[in-house]
Structure 1
Amino acid sequence: MSKKTQVRVYDAAGVLVPVKDQTWYTLRASGEAEQQNIEVFVYGEIGAWGVTANQFVQDLRALDDGVSPVVVAFNSIGGDLFDGLAMHNALSRLGERCTGRIDALAASAASVAVCGAHRVVIAANAMLMIHNPWTYAAGDAEDFRKVADVLDQTLEAIIAAYKSKAPDIDDAELRRLVDAETWLTANEALALGLADEVGDGVKVSACLGHGDALRRFRNAPPGLLAQLDEQPPAVPGEPATPPEPAPVVDAAQLALLITQRCAESGISNLVEPLLKSTQLESEAVVQAGLARAKTINDLCVAARLPEFSAEFVAAGLDAASVRARLFDKLVGTGKGFEIDNSLPLENDPPPKVQAKKIDQPSIWAARQAAQQPSAKGTRP
């Protein structure tokens, strides 16, 4: 009998990632017994905007029979540290039958997660990035002291996760590398003990649609950043599709549509940026631009930075990129506001008007004054 391969794919968009390389589905003989291989692809952000630890563990439990080898492939910029730690521990509990595979990039929380595997194989052209935990907060001085204490504690959790994979690594050197935000090549990860084997390199984009998040890192390699401007390659063996003739566009009507819709949505300040970003290419492009502009405006208002909405719309940014830019601006300016990602609904009820609180001391003082005898007409 041949082995069966079960594949579960994660990414931020919630859709299957098409895998063109058939070597990822290699079948091997297994004698008379039938055995399955379980492959899990963590291709995207870790946490609420991608794959959560809860989703990862529940789906893995649904596939796992307790004896089959498990390969968890990573191509992730990271995300939520605590979800990464939970995934690390889930892989560690699988024991020797678990292999972590870094296909292109395991950064931040993803580097913590993959180190939970018994064996880590990193592609020759892949990278593993380690850095300090970071966050942003709001509050008074005491609140910020508490946040600093939590960051110190989470750093110890990160160090422990790496040392569980590489127990012989020098503690001072590891902390230096983490503090410096270090991007390790395959051979460097192998030398440190954070990887056990360097595998064959494969062409896998390391950006995953999170280009602005990748730019947030201080030392992101220029080669990775350069991928942000690359055009997707044509699929080998498929004939090139001839370009369709451009439809006739009524630019005046599309400009009028933008003006009217912006006025209806209360974003008339975004008319000019929309004209610039859509180029009045077609009605579909204009409609998509209007929806995008409304979302961007709501995000900027939620972050209390509405002055940037026109700039973001004109640049043609999507919602994920805007969130990243707003995050950077909030952290850089020290305003400390957290972005509310839930967009307001048109049918939201109006805010309730709170009744004025009763001022009991004032009422008591007024009554006492009224009960005092008048000075007029009294005898000394």
Structure 2
Amino acid sequence: MKDKMLKVVNKAEGAEIYITGDIVDDEWGGCLEAWGDPGIGYQWPNDIKKQLADIDDEAPLTIYINSDVGSVPAGVAIANMIARHKGPTTAVVDGWACSIATQIFFAADVRKIPSNAYLMIHKPATCCCGDAHDMEQAIKALDVIQEGLETTYNKVAAEGVTPEAIHQMVEETTWLTGKETSERFQVELLEATQTAACVGGAYKAFKKMPEGIKTVDNSKKPEAPKPQPVADLPQDKNINKVRAEIMLAIMEGELIDEEV
């Protein structure tokens, strides 16, 4: 499993899990494996379940998160796996925890975030096709899902942060720095750390992304190698004329069986 963006490290004092990338449903995980894709940049519940099975259920568990987007059912399933772990659990935001990744973050007993990391919560979304009734059903489903997500946020809200305030943050798509996260939720603030940017690409469609992190993927790309100069043709006009006549003859089919 070393090629996957989930890594389990067993230590004498406990285990560490690194969850990096987009969170997808199990069926997508199976498709990736069937296609021979190592699944870099994706997480799915069944794969994480297999990894957790190798961990002592009573041991302390630390989950490091750097994820930008994903499926609600997949993310909630992973969050429930973390919540069921019998030993103490700690979640740490390495770079950012956005969208459904926040549910995994808040599933741990203890939550920590560096001052230069980010958390983002927003309304759930879906794609729908069909008639007006289908559209109405999709809207109802999204409202129910949002209510469930907000229930998690309310359980870990800081003192004085009301359900109305949580709802408004979700409605507006809210980005929070580490410090702002610790002010609104029961989260421990850590000193700034150097972390790698998230490998996912869905964040490019995020709304209201702070200007300071829009350049997260703008690292310098290596310059394309300059084409090597083609050797100059001989300057003898007679040689060039002969070559031109040979090429013309080939194009007209007159020298098909001849060596040139």
TM-score range (shorter-chain normalised) is 0.7 to 0.9
Determine the C-alpha separation between the residues in 1 that align with 2:70 and 2:215: 22
Match of 2:215 among 226, 231, 256: 226
Residue 158 of structure 2 contacts residue 186 of structure 2 at CA under 8 Å; is this kept in 1? no
Match of 2:17 among 31, 40, 45: 40
| 1:107 equivalent in structure 2 | 98
Q: Give the structure, 1 or 2, with the largest relative contact order (CA under 8 Å, sep 6 or more).
A: 2
| 1:158 equivalent in structure 2 | 149
Structure 1 residues not aligned, in runs of 5+? 1-7, 18-24, 28-34, 234-242, 251-380
Determine the C-alpha separation between the residues in 1 that align with 2:197 and 2:147: 28
Q: Shift in Å at residue 139 of structure 1?
A: 0.5
Correspondences of 1:17-166 after superposition (within 5 Å): 35-47=12-24, 48=28, 50-62=42-54, 64-94=55-85, 97-166=88-157
What SS does the aligned partner of 1:228 have? coil
Q: Which amino acid aligns with 1:125?
A: N
Q: Shift in Å at residue 14 of structure 1?
A: 2.7
Q: How large is the RMSD of aligned CA atoms in angstroms? A: 2.8
| 2:240 equivalent in structure 1 | none
User: Which string of whole-angstrom CA distances, capped at 9 and with x for unpartnered residues, describes residues 321-344 of structure 1?
Assistant: xxxxxxxxxxxxxxxxxxxxxxxx
Determine the C-alpha separation between the residues in 1 that align with 2:162 and 2:6: 40
Larger radius of gyration, structure 1 or 2? 1
User: Which string of whole-angstrom CA distances, capped at 9 and with x for unpartnered residues, describes residues 295-325 of structure 1?
Assistant: xxxxxxxxxxxxxxxxxxxxxxxxxxxxxxx
| 2:233 equivalent in structure 1 | none
| 1:14 equivalent in structure 2 | 4
| 2:174 equivalent in structure 1 | 182
Determine the C-alpha separation between the residues in 1 that align with 2:215 and 2:152: 31
User: Which string of whole-angstrom CA distances, capped at 9 and with x for unpartnered residues, describes residues 41-95 of structure 1?
Assistant: 1111111471112211221122x21221100000110211111111111111225
Residue 107 of structure 1 contacts residue 128 of structure 1 at CA under 8 Å; is this kept in 2? yes
Determine the C-alpha separation between the residues in 2 that align with 1:36 and 1:247: 55
Determine the C-alpha separation between the residues in 1 that align with 2:157 and 2:5: 34
Residue 78 of structure 1 contacts residue 111 of structure 1 at CA under 8 Å; is this kept in 2? no
What SS does the aligned partner of 1:42 have? strand
Number of equivalenced pairs:
212
| 1:322 equivalent in structure 2 | none
Taking structure 1 as reference, are residues 55 and 220 closer, same or farther at Cα in structure 2, changes over 3 Å only?
same
Determine the C-alpha separation between the residues in 2 that align with 1:76 and 1:61: 22
Determine the C-alpha separation between the residues in 1 that align with 2:5 and 2:198: 17
Taking structure 1 as reference, are residues 209 and 127 closer, same or farther at Cα in structure 2, changes over 3 Å only?
same
Taking structure 1 as reference, are residues 183 and 95 closer, same or farther at Cα in structure 2, changes over 3 Å only?
farther
Runs of 4+ in 1 over 2 A off after TM superposition: 13-17, 163-169, 245-250
Q: How does the TM-score come out when normalised to structure 2?
A: 0.73
Q: Shift in Å at residue 138 of structure 1?
A: 0.5
Higher strand share: 2
Determine the C-alpha separation between the residues in 1 that align with 2:118 and 2:89: 20
Taking structure 1 as reference, are residues 134 and 42 closer, same or farther at Cα in structure 2, changes over 3 Å only?
same
Higher helix share: 1
Determine the C-alpha separation between the residues in 1 that align with 2:218 and 2:58: 44
Residue 95 of structure 1 contacts residue 118 of structure 1 at CA under 8 Å; is this kept in 2? no
Taking structure 1 as reference, are residues 194 and 138 closer, same or farther at Cα in structure 2, changes over 3 Å only?
farther
Taking structure 1 as reference, are residues 176 and 95 closer, same or farther at Cα in structure 2, changes over 3 Å only?
farther
Q: Which amino acid aligns with 2:59?
A: S
Determine the C-alpha separation between the residues in 2 that align with 1:126 and 1:147: 33
What SS does the aligned partner of 1:219 have? coil
User: Which string of whole-angstrom CA distances, capped at 9 and with x for unpartnered residues, describes residues 162-209 of structure 1?
Assistant: 1233375410000001111000111111111242x1113222233424
Determine the C-alpha separation between the residues in 1 that align with 2:155 and 2:97: 17
Residue 96 of structure 1 contacts residue 118 of structure 1 at CA under 8 Å; is this kept in 2? no
